[in-house]
Amino acid sequence: MQYNALGKMGLSVSALGFGAAPLGGPYGQVTQAEATQAVRVALDLGINFFDTSPWYQASEEVLGEALVGVARESYVLCTKLGRYPSTEKPSGEFDFSAARVRQSIDNSLCRLKTDQLDIALCHDIEFAEDFSQILDETLPTLRECVAAGKVRFVGVSGLPLAIYPKVLDQTPLDVILSYCHTSLNDNSLWDLIPYLDEKSVGVIGASPLAMGLFSDTGPQPWHPAPEVLRLACLDALAWCKENGFSLAELAVAWTLQNAPVATTLVGMTNEAQVRQNSAVVGTLPDPQAINAIQAILAPVQRLTWPSGKFH
């Protein structure tokens, strides 16, 4: 496994990170036994970065149980706050208030069966009702949690890249998590790296499969991508099937080789996925296949979708 420094935090993280969102069941039921086996195999293969969130349904509880008995200093644990499941709103409930921050951190510590979180991120801040609340209330409260020893480092996550300068121009952060902008069809995070380096911010990349656009089964019906992007990805999948390639494997390998981030989070639910993804770390994806896929995706390069208040 390859390891990289995450910003200036003194953390050495595996190039491949374990995205634990699927452990909450959005792509299908996952048993605790399957999840525990996946997590333990990941640790054995050198993966030491685990990411979760209350928004991911039961993910925190499942991950916490899977890590019982594992030496706490052997892994880096990242979770989030501000976005929560809601039976009334498909996009979830957003609450970045100080009281909810404190409650969320305590709840996460309990679910994850630990007394300290390595990283706590404000989750999808583009959905905040008042963006100034993130600066004036949410982040200061998180820093109180740092002072109390409950959290080590703080940051933000979200889809639109514009959110990062919007925060960092006004307050420092330890780390950011950007997703769907280090993938075969969208490398736009590259443009922001010099700015983030100047701010001494650690960078976590996530979802090289673009939330399933590059999975070997195609995107889920709920995927927010515009139809033209979905169709292009299905064309890329068809090409891979005709030519004996796994689109998912190529997509992960390409991102791991090219993304200028400390760690890339890939959602995983079972041992087979962990082994498949770990096997491509440090490998070069087939160049002819990549060229063919990128030719198919050329008309939709850097095409994204609206999120929150950013369109």
Active site residue ranges: 56
Which amino acid appears at position 64 of this protein?
G
Residues 230, 225: Cα–Cα separation, whole Å: 6
Are 207 and 180 a contacting pair, CB within 8 Å?
Answer: yes
CA 51 to each of CA 103, 170, 177, 275: distance values in angstroms, whole numbers, following the listed order: 19, 26, 10, 18
Question: Residue 307 belongs to what H/E stretch?
Answer: none
Tokens for 295?
């030719």
Ramachandran assignment for 254, one of left (phi > 0), alpha (psi -120 to 50 degrees), beta (any other): alpha
Are 20 and 51 a contacting pair, CB within 8 Å?
Answer: yes
Q: Kindly give the pairing relationship between strand 3-5 and strand 12-14.
A: antiparallel
Handedness of CA 249, 190, 157, 154 (dihedral sign): positive
Per-residue three-class SS string for 118-175: EEEEECCHHHCCCHHHHHHHHHHHHHHHHHCCCEEEEEEEECCCCHHHHHHCCCCCCE
| Helix 32-44, helix 271-279: angle, nearest 10 | 30
Rounded to 10 degrees, what is the CA torsion of 74, 77, 30, 83? 180
Which amino acid appears at position 133 of this protein?
Q
